[in-house]
């Protein structure tokens, strides 16, 4: 009996058991869910004891709430909402989350304005007088669009903002002249629209983009990639937020290190059919640094330091 009692602690070792990792993603058909699912598949291949439990959510805001309440251990969050939550700005003024920590950025989500190829819209200024769908009120897309349009001298109450049930139908039937999305490419909504009518993208560049990015950590220069959608042979300049895998400072360093390493060790096998692949941050050095809008978790930093020491960063 004494021998059995001595053996039990050796047999029951937490490191040998599967760790349930809860990750808040987004809608099950969305990019966050698809990309997180693929990273988790790679993590399980690298470390069989790691298993993810993906939580379908409405997106970044809910994911931040779940992190705060402890319902999720990790979550995918847009860099702009992440920064504001960390600093207690905007909708997070009364409930700041300074404990948030980043693991790494997964992909860029360019702010994309879709217009009809045969339409009258040729400049950002024209959006101020046109019927446009810039996302639901209170959504991340709407807030980003208003940031851009405010810089152009337009206030929300002066705009002809629509919230259409089907953006593809609305654009192609000329109910609206443009719609915007914050998204990785290729995107199903844009692909569907391009099948119904010829589309192109409104560029955001020059002084407008420079001013928008000035002093802001959570926006980056970006582009809508070329040759993904019919008729669009050249990349379109714009800006983007970075989708970021995050946790809280209280998460143990070893747990974060283990997950980060397992997710990234085999990224060369990342499924090329996963939506958002065109904007993935493939190289390790592009996943950290300025692209992160908050402090990195020590566990994740440890893995990237190892890459640096090995000359792989």
Let me know if residue 27 belongs to a domain. Answer: yes
Rounded to 10 degrees, what is the CA torsion of 219, 88, 67, 112?
-20
Q: Is the pLDDT of residue 92 over 50?
A: yes
Split at pLDDT 50, 70, 90, the class of 192 is very high
Let me know if residue 202 belongs to a domain. Answer: yes
Residues 117 and 261 in one domain: no
The region of weakest confidence among 19-33, 34-48, 117-131, 235-249 is 19-33
Residues 136 and 225 in one domain: yes
Q: Which of 239, 263, 288 is the last residue of a domain?
A: 239
Domain CATH number, residue 173: 3.40.190.10
Quick: pLDDT tens for 287-309: 999 999 999 999 999 999 999 99
Produce one character per residue of 71-95: b if its CB has 16 or more CB atoms within 10 Å, e if not.
ebbbbbbbbbbbbbbbbeeeebeee
Residues 97 and 117 in one domain: no
**pTM to 2 decimals?**
0.84
Residues 260 and 273 in one domain: yes
Residues 132 and 248 in one domain: no
Q: Which of 187, 211, 239 is the last residue of a domain?
A: 239
Let me know if residue 28 belongs to a domain. Answer: yes
Strands (E), 92-235: 100-116, 131-133, 160-161, 178-182, 199-201, 220-224
Split at pLDDT 50, 70, 90, the class of 278 is confident
Let me know if residue 2 belongs to a domain. Answer: no
Residues 120 and 75 in one domain: no
Let me know if residue 9 belongs to a domain. Answer: no
Structural domains counted in the chain = 2
CB 63 within 8 A of CB 24: yes
Q: Is the pLDDT of residue 8 over 70?
A: no
Residues 70 and 84 in one domain: yes
């Amino acid at each position: 009996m004494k021998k059995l009692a001595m053996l039990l602690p050796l047999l029951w070792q937490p490191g040998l058991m599967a760790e349930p990792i809860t990750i808040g993603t987004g809608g099950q058909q969305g990019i966050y869910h698809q990309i997180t699912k693929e990273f988790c598949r790679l993590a399980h291949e690298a470390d069989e004891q790691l298993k993810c439990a993906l939580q379908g959510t409405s997106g970044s805001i809910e994911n931040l709430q779940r992190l705060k309440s402890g319902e999720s251990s990790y979550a995918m969050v847009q860099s702009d909402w992440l920064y504001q939550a960390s600093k207690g700005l905007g909708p997070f003024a009364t409930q700041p989350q300074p404990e948030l920590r980043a693991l790494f950025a997964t992909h860029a989500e360019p702010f994309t304005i879709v217009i009809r190829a045969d339409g009258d819209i040729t400049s950002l200024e024209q959006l101020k007088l046109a019927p446009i769908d810039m996302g639901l009120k209170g959504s991340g897309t709407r807030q980003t669009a208003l940031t851009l349009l405010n810089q152009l001298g337009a206030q929300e109450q002066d705009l002809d903002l629509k919230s259409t049930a089907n953006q593809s139908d609305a654009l192609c039937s000329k109910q609206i002249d443009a719609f915007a999305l914050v998204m990785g490419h290729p995107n199903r909504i844009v692909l569907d629209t391009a099948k119904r009518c010829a589309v192109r993208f409104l560029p955001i560049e020059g002084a407008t983009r420079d001013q928008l990015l000035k002093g802001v950590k959570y926006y980056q220069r970006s582009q809508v990639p070329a040759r993904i959608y019919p008729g669009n042979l050249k990349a379109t300049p714009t800006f983007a937020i970075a989708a970021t895998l995050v946790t809280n400072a209280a998460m143990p360093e070893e747990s974060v290190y283990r997950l980060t390493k397992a997710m990234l060790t085999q990224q060369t096998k990342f499924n090329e059919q996963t939506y958002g692949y065109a904007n993935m941050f493939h190289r390790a050095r592009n996943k950290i640094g300025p692209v992160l809008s908050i402090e990195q978790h020590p566990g994740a930093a440890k893995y990237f330091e190892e890459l640096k020491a090995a000359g792989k960063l």
